[in-house]
Amino acid sequence: MAQTDIVVGIDIGGTNTRIGLVDREGRCLSETAIATNAQEAATQLVARIVRSIEEQYAPRKGSHVLKGIGIGAPNANYYKGTVEHPPNLAWPGVTDIVGLFTKQFPIPAAITNDANAAALGEMLFGAGKGLRDFIVITLGTGLGSGLIVNGALVYGHDGFAGELGHMTVDPEGRECGCGRRGCLETYASATGICKTVFELFALRRAESELRRISFETLTAKMISDAARRGDPIAREAFEITGKILGRKLADSVLHTSPAAIILFGGLAAAGDLIFEPTKRHMEASLLNIFRGKVQLLPSGLREDAAVLGSAALIWNELEKE
């Protein structure tokens, strides 16, 4: 009987790490989540991931062949296979993650950040299938991005390309975790829209069910629920977020002229509430030659998107050879 090629997709997040086995069609054959445990050394986390891979692979050894390992992680350097100074993990300096895995499994492994992995996931299995030029924007705690140009992910000369979350909206604007001010992700992200709601509490007199919620408690989900019930503050917050995001996406289009921009992650789950104003303001801000040409699409990946993205990374590497 013919054996089926599969890869491991690993997504190392600040809280949880997900590990799955994925075939070339983007089917997730199995998946587990383990706690990342931010205080633990990298070698210990890798040992626990290796155990999970072995458990998932054991019952399939006759029928499936493991071809590679793809990893998505914060502050990942694709060229070196390392994670460098991750802000939310106790891994000092530079950690050779790819090396730790290839010591256990003598097969190809690759690492990149989660937004780049998401872009490759969309290209191989999602809304970017068949497109050679597109941009993926992840709207989570921050704003991540991955650029596909001519059918390949853009890494740049140092491996760190695609940091659109740090485009400057206002040099005197909101403080950003990067130490600068007014970065796009301080406005257009799940946390950014919460900040906008609190600004609107000060600016507007309108009643809002959100006024009784504290800053630390408010979530993007609460804002979208309120907006669907017609809450004026929540609705205006989406309008402002879409305006700021749409205008900056119009600048990004000038760089690589993508056929589509795919919105992904927590805030994108708000659907039309975020897509409609973003699309409208992007179109209004686009240079004429690009108007009406750039699709704004929801992700085509399902819930296991993070694992699929990491799997796509290594499938893509395997096919380069």
Strand 94-95 and strand 82-84: the pairing is antiparallel
Q: Which residues does 203 contact at the CB level (< 8 Å), separation at least 6?
A: none
**Selected binder of a copy of itself within 147, 200, 263, 268 (CB under 8 A):** 147
Indicate the helix (H) or strand (E) that contains 66.
strand 64-72
**Selected binder of a copy of itself within 1, 2, 58, 289 (CB under 8 A):** 289
DSSP state letters, 6-21? EEEEEEE-SSEEEEEE
Strand 4-12 and strand 64-72: the pairing is parallel
Q: How far is the CB of 135 from a copy of itself (least distance, A)?
A: 9
Do residues 110 and 9 make contact, with C-beta atoms less than 8 angstroms apart?
Answer: no
Does 317 participate in binding a copy of itself (rule CB under 8 A)? no
Most distant CA pair in the chain, distance: 70
Do residues 295 and 263 make contact, with C-beta atoms less than 8 angstroms apart?
Answer: no
Indicate the helix (H) or strand (E) that contains 275.
helix 272-285
Q: How far is the CB of 238 from a copy of itself (least distance, A)?
A: 20
Does 288 participate in binding a copy of itself (rule CB under 8 A)? yes
Structure tokens at 276: 């409609």
Does 152 participate in binding a copy of itself (rule CB under 8 A)? yes
Does 277 participate in binding a copy of itself (rule CB under 8 A)? no
**Selected binder of a copy of itself within 9, 159, 242, 265 (CB under 8 A):** 159
Spatial CA neighbour of 315 closest among 5, 3, 51 = 5
Does 167 participate in binding a copy of itself (rule CB under 8 A)? yes
State which of positions 62-121 bind a copy of itself (CB under 8 A): none
Helix axes 97-104, 42-57, angle to 10 degrees: 40
Does 285 participate in binding a copy of itself (rule CB under 8 A)? yes
**Selected binder of a copy of itself within 163, 231, 236, 304 (CB under 8 A):** 163
Stretch of residues binding a copy of itself (CB under 8 A), selected from 128-136, 196-204, 214-222, 234-242: 128-136
Nearer Cβ to a copy of itself (135/268): 135
Dihedral over Cα of 185, 76, 318, 101: its sign = negative
Letters for 236-255 (x = contact with a copy of itself by CB under 8 A, - = none) are: -----------x--xxx-xx
Does 141 participate in binding a copy of itself (rule CB under 8 A)? no
| Residues of this chain that bind a copy of itself (CB under 8 A) | 131-134, 147, 149-150, 152, 154-164, 166-168, 171, 178-180, 247, 250-252, 254-259, 285, 287-290, 293
